Structure 1
Amino acid sequence: MAEKIVILTGAGISAESGLGTFRDADGLWSQVRIEDVATPEAFARDPARVHAFYNMRRAAAAAAAPNPAHHALARLQRDHPGEVVIVTQNVDDLHGRAGAEVLHMHGALARALCASCGETWAAPPEMAPGDPCPACERPATRPDVVWFGEMPHRLDDIADHLAACSLFAAIGTSGAVYPAAGFVREARAAGADTVELNLGASDVSPLFHRRLTGPASRVVPDWVDTLLAQ
Protein backbone atom coordinates (compact mmCIF):
# COMPACT_ATOMS: atom_id res chain seq x y z
CA MET A 1 0.00 0.00 0.00
CA ALA A 2 1.31 3.46 -0.89
CA GLU A 3 2.19 5.61 2.07
CA LYS A 4 -0.13 8.25 3.39
CA ILE A 5 1.46 11.69 3.73
CA VAL A 6 0.20 14.47 5.97
CA ILE A 7 1.68 17.93 5.41
CA LEU A 8 1.28 20.94 7.70
CA THR A 9 2.00 24.32 6.14
CA GLY A 10 2.49 27.68 7.83
CA ALA A 11 3.19 31.27 6.91
CA GLY A 12 6.68 30.46 5.62
CA ILE A 13 5.34 28.72 2.53
CA SER A 14 3.56 31.91 1.42
CA ALA A 15 6.36 34.33 2.35
CA GLU A 16 7.94 34.15 -1.11
CA SER A 17 4.56 35.06 -2.60
CA GLY A 18 4.84 38.37 -0.77
CA LEU A 19 2.69 37.52 2.25
CA GLY A 20 4.46 38.32 5.50
CA THR A 21 5.10 35.80 8.24
CA PHE A 22 4.01 36.48 11.81
CA ARG A 23 6.69 35.66 14.35
CA ASP A 24 9.93 36.62 12.64
CA ALA A 25 11.73 39.76 13.78
CA ASP A 26 9.98 41.81 11.09
CA GLY A 27 6.81 39.73 11.03
CA LEU A 28 3.23 40.89 11.29
CA TRP A 29 3.05 40.58 15.07
CA SER A 30 5.99 42.98 15.42
CA GLN A 31 3.92 45.62 13.63
CA VAL A 32 0.52 45.17 15.27
CA ARG A 33 -0.55 43.62 18.58
CA ILE A 34 -2.40 40.31 18.51
CA GLU A 35 -4.65 41.67 21.25
CA ASP A 36 -5.78 44.54 19.01
CA VAL A 37 -6.79 42.65 15.86
CA ALA A 38 -6.88 38.87 16.31
CA THR A 39 -9.05 38.03 19.32
CA PRO A 40 -12.82 37.97 19.90
CA GLU A 41 -12.28 40.66 22.53
CA ALA A 42 -10.59 42.94 19.99
CA PHE A 43 -13.54 42.53 17.63
CA ALA A 44 -16.04 43.32 20.37
CA ARG A 45 -14.01 46.38 21.41
CA ASP A 46 -13.21 47.86 17.99
CA PRO A 47 -14.76 45.96 15.06
CA ALA A 48 -13.83 48.69 12.57
CA ARG A 49 -10.14 48.30 13.36
CA VAL A 50 -10.32 44.52 13.08
CA HIS A 51 -12.17 44.71 9.77
CA ALA A 52 -9.61 47.22 8.43
CA PHE A 53 -6.78 44.83 9.35
CA TYR A 54 -8.40 41.87 7.61
CA ASN A 55 -9.45 43.96 4.61
CA MET A 56 -5.76 44.78 4.17
CA ARG A 57 -4.77 41.13 4.51
CA ARG A 58 -7.53 40.02 2.12
CA ALA A 59 -6.32 42.48 -0.52
CA ALA A 60 -2.71 41.34 -0.10
CA ALA A 61 -3.70 37.68 -0.46
CA ALA A 62 -5.79 38.40 -3.56
CA ALA A 63 -2.84 40.19 -5.17
CA ALA A 64 -0.39 37.36 -4.39
CA ALA A 65 0.27 34.35 -6.60
CA PRO A 66 1.15 30.76 -5.68
CA ASN A 67 4.88 30.11 -5.69
CA PRO A 68 6.79 26.94 -6.69
CA ALA A 69 6.26 25.43 -3.22
CA HIS A 70 2.48 25.63 -3.53
CA HIS A 71 2.61 24.17 -7.03
CA ALA A 72 4.93 21.37 -5.91
CA LEU A 73 2.54 20.25 -3.16
CA ALA A 74 -0.35 20.30 -5.61
CA ARG A 75 1.73 18.10 -7.92
CA LEU A 76 2.52 15.73 -5.04
CA GLN A 77 -1.15 15.48 -4.17
CA ARG A 78 -1.99 14.74 -7.80
CA ASP A 79 0.80 12.29 -8.65
CA HIS A 80 1.58 10.41 -5.41
CA PRO A 81 -0.02 6.97 -5.49
CA GLY A 82 -1.12 7.27 -1.87
CA GLU A 83 -3.18 9.87 -0.06
CA VAL A 84 -1.68 13.31 0.51
CA VAL A 85 -3.48 15.43 3.10
CA ILE A 86 -2.47 19.09 3.28
CA VAL A 87 -3.40 20.94 6.47
CA THR A 88 -2.68 24.66 6.51
CA GLN A 89 -2.50 27.23 9.26
CA ASN A 90 -2.65 29.90 6.55
CA VAL A 91 -5.81 31.82 5.78
CA ASP A 92 -4.78 32.70 2.21
CA ASP A 93 -6.03 30.68 -0.76
CA LEU A 94 -2.71 30.07 -2.50
CA HIS A 95 -2.79 26.28 -2.06
CA GLY A 96 -6.19 26.12 -3.71
CA ARG A 97 -5.20 28.40 -6.55
CA ALA A 98 -2.21 26.12 -7.20
CA GLY A 99 -4.62 23.20 -7.58
CA ALA A 100 -4.40 21.52 -4.17
CA GLU A 101 -7.18 20.50 -1.81
CA VAL A 102 -6.46 21.60 1.76
CA LEU A 103 -7.91 21.56 5.26
CA HIS A 104 -7.97 25.17 6.51
CA MET A 105 -7.61 24.77 10.26
CA HIS A 106 -7.56 28.54 10.86
CA GLY A 107 -10.30 29.56 8.45
CA ALA A 108 -10.06 31.59 5.26
CA LEU A 109 -9.75 35.28 4.43
CA ALA A 110 -11.98 34.76 1.42
CA ARG A 111 -14.92 33.75 3.62
CA ALA A 112 -17.19 35.76 5.91
CA LEU A 113 -18.94 34.46 9.03
CA CYS A 114 -22.00 35.63 10.93
CA ALA A 115 -21.15 35.77 14.63
CA SER A 116 -24.86 35.50 15.39
CA CYS A 117 -26.20 32.57 13.35
CA GLY A 118 -23.01 30.92 12.06
CA GLU A 119 -23.75 31.37 8.34
CA THR A 120 -20.68 31.59 6.07
CA TRP A 121 -20.37 33.07 2.59
CA ALA A 122 -17.82 34.46 0.14
CA ALA A 123 -16.37 37.62 1.63
CA PRO A 124 -16.44 40.85 -0.38
CA PRO A 125 -13.11 42.64 -0.87
CA GLU A 126 -13.95 44.97 2.02
CA MET A 127 -16.07 44.27 5.08
CA ALA A 128 -17.46 46.68 7.68
CA PRO A 129 -19.12 46.34 11.10
CA GLY A 130 -22.57 47.20 9.79
CA ASP A 131 -22.63 44.58 7.04
CA PRO A 132 -25.75 42.41 7.41
CA CYS A 133 -25.65 38.64 7.38
CA PRO A 134 -27.34 37.34 4.19
CA ALA A 135 -29.15 34.70 6.25
CA CYS A 136 -30.34 36.41 9.44
CA GLU A 137 -29.71 40.03 8.40
CA ARG A 138 -28.10 40.91 11.72
CA PRO A 139 -25.03 43.21 11.55
CA ALA A 140 -22.77 40.52 13.01
CA THR A 141 -20.46 39.94 10.05
CA ARG A 142 -16.84 39.02 10.82
CA PRO A 143 -13.97 37.38 8.93
CA ASP A 144 -14.22 33.59 8.89
CA VAL A 145 -10.83 33.18 10.52
CA VAL A 146 -9.87 31.52 13.79
CA TRP A 147 -8.72 34.11 16.31
CA PHE A 148 -6.55 33.50 19.36
CA GLY A 149 -8.71 31.95 22.03
CA GLU A 150 -10.94 30.17 19.49
CA MET A 151 -10.95 26.50 18.50
CA PRO A 152 -9.30 25.63 15.17
CA HIS A 153 -11.35 23.81 12.55
CA ARG A 154 -11.26 20.11 11.61
CA LEU A 155 -9.19 18.94 14.61
CA ASP A 156 -10.89 15.54 14.80
CA ASP A 157 -10.29 14.92 11.09
CA ILE A 158 -6.68 16.05 11.40
CA ALA A 159 -6.09 13.74 14.38
CA ASP A 160 -7.43 10.80 12.38
CA HIS A 161 -5.11 11.62 9.47
CA LEU A 162 -2.09 11.95 11.78
CA ALA A 163 -2.84 8.59 13.38
CA ALA A 164 -2.88 6.91 9.96
CA CYS A 165 0.03 8.58 8.16
CA SER A 166 3.38 7.09 7.27
CA LEU A 167 5.09 10.45 6.72
CA PHE A 168 4.44 13.80 8.37
CA ALA A 169 6.00 17.01 7.06
CA ALA A 170 5.85 20.54 8.42
CA ILE A 171 6.68 23.35 6.01
CA GLY A 172 7.27 26.98 6.94
CA THR A 173 5.91 26.77 10.48
CA SER A 174 7.22 28.44 13.63
CA GLY A 175 6.26 25.55 15.90
CA ALA A 176 5.01 28.14 18.38
CA VAL A 177 1.24 27.89 17.91
CA TYR A 178 -0.72 24.98 19.36
CA PRO A 179 -2.37 22.67 18.63
CA ALA A 180 -0.53 22.60 15.27
CA ALA A 181 2.87 22.60 16.98
CA GLY A 182 1.94 19.30 18.60
CA PHE A 183 1.13 17.49 15.35
CA VAL A 184 4.68 16.15 15.03
CA ARG A 185 4.32 14.45 18.41
CA GLU A 186 1.03 12.87 17.35
CA ALA A 187 2.53 11.63 14.09
CA ARG A 188 5.62 10.20 15.80
CA ALA A 189 3.46 8.47 18.39
CA ALA A 190 1.65 6.78 15.50
CA GLY A 191 4.97 5.58 14.06
CA ALA A 192 5.31 8.06 11.20
CA ASP A 193 8.55 9.33 9.74
CA THR A 194 8.79 13.11 10.23
CA VAL A 195 10.56 15.88 8.30
CA GLU A 196 10.68 19.64 8.75
CA LEU A 197 11.25 22.00 5.80
CA ASN A 198 12.02 25.52 6.94
CA LEU A 199 14.32 28.51 6.58
CA GLY A 200 15.75 27.86 10.03
CA ALA A 201 15.06 26.09 13.29
CA SER A 202 11.57 26.19 14.73
CA ASP A 203 10.44 25.75 18.32
CA VAL A 204 9.85 22.03 17.66
CA SER A 205 12.74 21.21 15.31
CA PRO A 206 14.32 18.67 17.73
CA LEU A 207 11.19 16.52 17.50
CA PHE A 208 11.61 15.78 13.78
CA HIS A 209 13.63 12.86 12.43
CA ARG A 210 15.28 15.12 9.88
CA ARG A 211 15.28 18.68 8.58
CA LEU A 212 15.65 20.32 5.17
CA THR A 213 16.73 23.95 5.39
CA GLY A 214 16.24 26.68 2.81
CA PRO A 215 13.61 28.75 1.02
CA ALA A 216 10.34 26.90 0.49
CA SER A 217 10.38 27.65 -3.25
CA ARG A 218 13.58 25.57 -3.52
CA VAL A 219 13.43 22.88 -0.84
CA VAL A 220 9.79 21.90 -1.32
CA PRO A 221 10.00 21.17 -5.08
CA ASP A 222 13.25 19.25 -4.52
CA TRP A 223 11.64 17.22 -1.74
CA VAL A 224 8.59 16.49 -3.87
CA ASP A 225 10.79 15.37 -6.76
CA THR A 226 12.55 12.95 -4.40
CA LEU A 227 9.28 11.52 -3.09
CA LEU A 228 7.79 11.02 -6.54
CA ALA A 229 10.97 9.34 -7.79
CA GLN A 230 10.81 6.65 -5.12
Structure 2
Amino acid sequence: MQLQLRSGVLFVTPAERAETKRDLIVEEASRLMYERGTGLGVDTLVSEIGVAKMTLYKHFPTKTDLIVACLEHLDDCHRARLSGQVDWSSSPAERLLSVFDSLREWFAMPSFRGCAFVNATVELADTSPPVRNAVREHKNAMRAWVVKLVEECELPNANFVASQIAQLMEGATTTALLERDPAVADVAQATALQVLDKAKASTGASAPLRR
Protein backbone atom coordinates (compact mmCIF):
# COMPACT_ATOMS: atom_id res chain seq x y z
CA MET A 1 0.00 0.00 0.00
CA GLN A 2 1.37 3.39 -1.00
CA LEU A 3 1.00 6.13 1.59
CA GLN A 4 1.17 9.90 1.41
CA LEU A 5 1.00 12.61 4.04
CA ARG A 6 -1.69 15.22 3.51
CA SER A 7 -2.75 17.84 6.01
CA GLY A 8 -0.57 16.23 8.64
CA VAL A 9 -2.42 12.91 8.26
CA LEU A 10 -1.24 9.80 6.46
CA PHE A 11 -3.54 8.55 3.69
CA VAL A 12 -3.40 5.97 0.94
CA THR A 13 -2.52 7.37 -2.46
CA PRO A 14 -5.34 7.88 -4.99
CA ALA A 15 -4.46 4.68 -6.85
CA GLU A 16 -4.77 2.70 -3.65
CA ARG A 17 -7.92 4.25 -2.23
CA ALA A 18 -10.93 2.06 -1.67
CA GLU A 19 -13.67 2.59 -4.24
CA THR A 20 -16.64 2.57 -1.88
CA LYS A 21 -18.52 5.74 -1.05
CA ARG A 22 -18.21 4.94 2.63
CA ASP A 23 -14.42 4.81 2.48
CA LEU A 24 -14.30 8.02 0.45
CA ILE A 25 -16.47 9.78 3.01
CA VAL A 26 -14.31 8.55 5.92
CA GLU A 27 -11.03 9.52 4.30
CA GLU A 28 -12.12 12.99 3.24
CA ALA A 29 -14.05 13.71 6.44
CA SER A 30 -10.98 12.66 8.45
CA ARG A 31 -8.87 15.16 6.56
CA LEU A 32 -11.39 17.97 6.86
CA MET A 33 -12.09 17.45 10.55
CA TYR A 34 -8.39 17.18 11.32
CA GLU A 35 -7.85 20.52 9.58
CA ARG A 36 -10.87 22.36 11.02
CA GLY A 37 -12.20 20.38 13.97
CA THR A 38 -15.04 17.97 14.61
CA GLY A 39 -17.48 20.88 14.80
CA LEU A 40 -17.45 21.12 11.01
CA GLY A 41 -21.06 21.11 9.81
CA VAL A 42 -22.65 18.31 7.82
CA ASP A 43 -23.55 20.69 4.99
CA THR A 44 -19.89 21.69 4.67
CA LEU A 45 -18.76 18.08 4.77
CA VAL A 46 -21.08 16.85 2.04
CA SER A 47 -20.28 19.89 -0.11
CA GLU A 48 -16.52 19.49 0.11
CA ILE A 49 -16.51 15.70 -0.06
CA GLY A 50 -18.84 15.79 -3.04
CA VAL A 51 -21.56 13.41 -1.87
CA ALA A 52 -25.25 13.82 -1.25
CA LYS A 53 -26.41 14.33 2.31
CA MET A 54 -28.63 11.26 1.91
CA THR A 55 -25.56 9.20 0.98
CA LEU A 56 -23.70 10.36 4.07
CA TYR A 57 -26.63 9.53 6.34
CA LYS A 58 -27.05 6.15 4.65
CA HIS A 59 -23.59 5.14 5.86
CA PHE A 60 -23.52 7.22 9.05
CA PRO A 61 -26.93 7.78 10.67
CA THR A 62 -25.44 10.33 13.08
CA LYS A 63 -22.48 12.65 12.96
CA THR A 64 -21.06 10.86 15.98
CA ASP A 65 -21.00 7.65 13.93
CA LEU A 66 -18.97 9.49 11.29
CA ILE A 67 -16.55 10.97 13.83
CA VAL A 68 -15.91 7.56 15.39
CA ALA A 69 -15.27 6.04 11.95
CA CYS A 70 -12.84 8.88 11.19
CA LEU A 71 -10.98 8.31 14.45
CA GLU A 72 -10.67 4.61 13.66
CA HIS A 73 -9.28 5.54 10.24
CA LEU A 74 -6.85 8.03 11.77
CA ASP A 75 -5.73 5.37 14.24
CA ASP A 76 -4.75 3.10 11.34
CA CYS A 77 -3.00 5.96 9.54
CA HIS A 78 -1.09 7.16 12.60
CA ARG A 79 0.23 3.71 13.42
CA ALA A 80 1.17 3.14 9.78
CA ARG A 81 3.08 6.44 9.80
CA LEU A 82 5.06 5.55 12.92
CA SER A 83 5.81 1.92 12.07
CA GLY A 84 6.57 2.78 8.46
CA GLN A 85 9.55 4.89 9.52
CA VAL A 86 11.08 2.17 11.69
CA ASP A 87 14.18 0.39 10.39
CA TRP A 88 13.28 -3.12 11.49
CA SER A 89 16.81 -4.35 10.72
CA SER A 90 18.30 -2.05 13.37
CA SER A 91 18.77 -2.79 17.05
CA PRO A 92 15.70 -2.81 19.33
CA ALA A 93 16.77 0.48 20.94
CA GLU A 94 17.30 2.12 17.54
CA ARG A 95 13.88 0.94 16.44
CA LEU A 96 12.27 2.48 19.50
CA LEU A 97 14.12 5.77 19.18
CA SER A 98 13.35 6.04 15.47
CA VAL A 99 9.71 6.63 16.40
CA PHE A 100 10.79 10.16 17.32
CA ASP A 101 12.32 10.60 13.86
CA SER A 102 8.89 9.90 12.42
CA LEU A 103 7.32 12.38 14.80
CA ARG A 104 9.83 15.05 13.76
CA GLU A 105 8.86 14.65 10.11
CA TRP A 106 5.18 14.90 11.03
CA PHE A 107 5.74 17.99 13.18
CA ALA A 108 7.49 19.70 10.26
CA MET A 109 4.41 19.50 8.03
CA PRO A 110 2.93 23.00 7.51
CA SER A 111 -0.55 21.63 8.12
CA PHE A 112 0.34 19.75 11.33
CA ARG A 113 -2.50 20.24 13.82
CA GLY A 114 -1.40 18.07 16.72
CA CYS A 115 -2.99 14.83 17.85
CA ALA A 116 -6.43 14.27 16.33
CA PHE A 117 -7.42 12.20 19.37
CA VAL A 118 -6.51 14.88 21.87
CA ASN A 119 -8.34 17.39 19.70
CA ALA A 120 -11.44 15.20 19.68
CA THR A 121 -11.21 14.77 23.44
CA VAL A 122 -11.15 18.52 23.98
CA GLU A 123 -13.99 19.11 21.52
CA LEU A 124 -16.34 16.23 22.22
CA ALA A 125 -15.29 13.50 24.61
CA ASP A 126 -16.97 14.93 27.71
CA THR A 127 -20.36 14.78 25.98
CA SER A 128 -19.84 11.80 23.65
CA PRO A 129 -19.07 8.38 25.18
CA PRO A 130 -18.50 6.77 21.74
CA VAL A 131 -15.84 9.35 20.92
CA ARG A 132 -14.27 8.96 24.36
CA ASN A 133 -14.13 5.19 23.84
CA ALA A 134 -12.54 5.55 20.40
CA VAL A 135 -9.89 7.86 21.83
CA ARG A 136 -9.22 5.47 24.71
CA GLU A 137 -8.88 2.51 22.34
CA HIS A 138 -6.35 4.40 20.23
CA LYS A 139 -4.26 5.42 23.23
CA ASN A 140 -4.34 1.88 24.64
CA ALA A 141 -3.27 0.43 21.29
CA MET A 142 -0.41 2.90 21.00
CA ARG A 143 0.72 2.14 24.54
CA ALA A 144 0.66 -1.61 23.79
CA TRP A 145 2.79 -1.02 20.69
CA VAL A 146 5.35 0.96 22.67
CA VAL A 147 5.39 -1.77 25.36
CA LYS A 148 6.25 -4.30 22.66
CA LEU A 149 9.13 -2.14 21.41
CA VAL A 150 10.45 -1.77 24.97
CA GLU A 151 10.16 -5.50 25.63
CA GLU A 152 12.30 -6.14 22.56
CA CYS A 153 15.02 -4.07 24.27
CA GLU A 154 14.98 -6.70 27.06
CA LEU A 155 14.59 -4.06 29.74
CA PRO A 156 12.99 -4.59 33.15
CA ASN A 157 9.72 -2.92 34.09
CA ALA A 158 8.71 -2.71 30.43
CA ASN A 159 5.28 -1.29 31.22
CA PHE A 160 6.71 1.54 33.31
CA VAL A 161 9.40 2.37 30.74
CA ALA A 162 6.81 2.27 27.97
CA SER A 163 4.65 4.70 29.95
CA GLN A 164 7.60 7.09 30.12
CA ILE A 165 8.23 6.80 26.39
CA ALA A 166 4.54 7.20 25.53
CA GLN A 167 4.32 10.34 27.68
CA LEU A 168 7.36 11.76 25.89
CA MET A 169 5.61 11.13 22.57
CA GLU A 170 2.41 12.78 23.79
CA GLY A 171 4.25 15.73 25.29
CA ALA A 172 6.33 16.27 22.17
CA THR A 173 3.20 16.29 20.00
CA THR A 174 1.49 18.90 22.14
CA THR A 175 4.60 21.06 22.46
CA ALA A 176 5.23 20.89 18.71
CA LEU A 177 1.71 22.17 18.11
CA LEU A 178 2.14 25.04 20.56
CA GLU A 179 5.66 26.05 19.57
CA ARG A 180 5.61 25.08 15.90
CA ASP A 181 9.09 23.64 16.32
CA PRO A 182 9.83 20.12 15.00
CA ALA A 183 13.01 20.08 17.10
CA VAL A 184 10.94 19.21 20.17
CA ALA A 185 11.07 15.65 18.80
CA ASP A 186 14.86 15.72 19.17
CA VAL A 187 14.55 16.78 22.81
CA ALA A 188 12.04 14.00 23.45
CA GLN A 189 14.28 11.51 21.68
CA ALA A 190 17.31 12.49 23.77
CA THR A 191 15.21 12.12 26.92
CA ALA A 192 13.96 8.72 25.74
CA LEU A 193 17.57 7.61 25.32
CA GLN A 194 18.28 8.64 28.91
CA VAL A 195 15.23 6.64 30.05
CA LEU A 196 16.48 3.57 28.19
CA ASP A 197 20.04 3.99 29.50
CA LYS A 198 18.78 4.23 33.07
CA ALA A 199 16.61 1.16 32.64
CA LYS A 200 19.53 -0.75 31.12
CA ALA A 201 21.84 0.32 33.95
CA SER A 202 19.40 -1.16 36.46
CA THR A 203 20.06 -4.58 34.91
CA GLY A 204 23.76 -4.28 35.74
CA ALA A 205 24.83 -3.86 32.13
CA SER A 206 27.83 -1.53 31.82
CA ALA A 207 27.51 -0.35 28.24
CA PRO A 208 24.87 2.36 27.76
CA LEU A 209 22.64 2.46 24.73
CA ARG A 210 23.78 4.83 22.03
CA ARG A 211 21.86 6.58 19.27
TM range (shorter): under 0.3
Higher strand share: 1
Normalising by the residue count of structure 1, what TM-score does the alignment of the two structures yield?
Answer: 0.24
Normalising by the residue count of structure 2, what TM-score does the alignment of the two structures yield?
Answer: 0.26
Structure with more contact order per residue of length (Cα contacts < 8 Å, sep ≥ 6): 1
Higher helix share: 2
Q: Which has the larger radius of gyration?
A: 2
